[in-house]
Amino acid sequence: MTEPTRKFPPYERHVFICLNTREEANPRGDCTRKGSEAVLERFKQLAAEKKLKPRIRAQKSGCLDTCEQGVSVVIYPEAIWYKQVTPADVDEIVESHLINGIPVERLRLHPTGPGDSARMSPIGNA
Ligand code: FES
């Protein structure tokens, strides 16, 4: 008997939150000093509360090279980048983007024109 093939990639949406750190004197700053640990924890908390796991995974990343705009977050497979994310913003990102497939335009690093969101699909709640 063969094992069932695991679907790959296993996540419908994969969220990376920058937790890079730098020396305090570095002019680029870093996302951790801007509160990225709390952003990551809020993503994890909501994923659990809304029963999005294991379809959604939120995890830390290294520097995403958009430091001046941090806290930096990117979500795949759509490759939607968010800037200056706070824990208070995470609820909206989870509900709008992760569950309903609608990016949060006011937080996007690279806003695009109308119709861009049409490629995305809602996954709904568990
Ligand atoms: S330190 Fe977060 S993007 Fe560079």
Give the closest residue (by CA) to ligand 1 atom 1.
30
With cut-offs at 50, 70 and 90, classify the pLDDT of residue 19.
very high
Per-residue pLDDT, averaged over 7-32, amounts to 92
Between the CA of 7 and the centroid of ligand 1 the distance, in Å, is 31
Q: Which amino acid is at 32?
A: T
- CA–CA separation, 126 and 81 (whole Å): 25
With cut-offs at 50, 70 and 90, classify the pLDDT of residue 93.
very high
Query: Which two three-digit tokens encode residue 14?
Result: 């994969």
Identify whether the C-beta of residue 7 lies closer than 8 Å to the C-beta of residue 59: no
Whether residue 6 has pLDDT greater than 70 = no
- Please state, rounded to an integer, the average pLDDT across all residues of the chain: 90
Report domain extents, the chain: 13-119
Whether residue 117 has pLDDT greater than 80 = no
Residue count of the chain: 126
Between the CA of 72 and the centroid of ligand 1 the distance, in Å, is 6
Give residue 9's pLDDT.
64
* Domain 13-119 architecture: 3-Layer(aba) Sandwich (3.40)
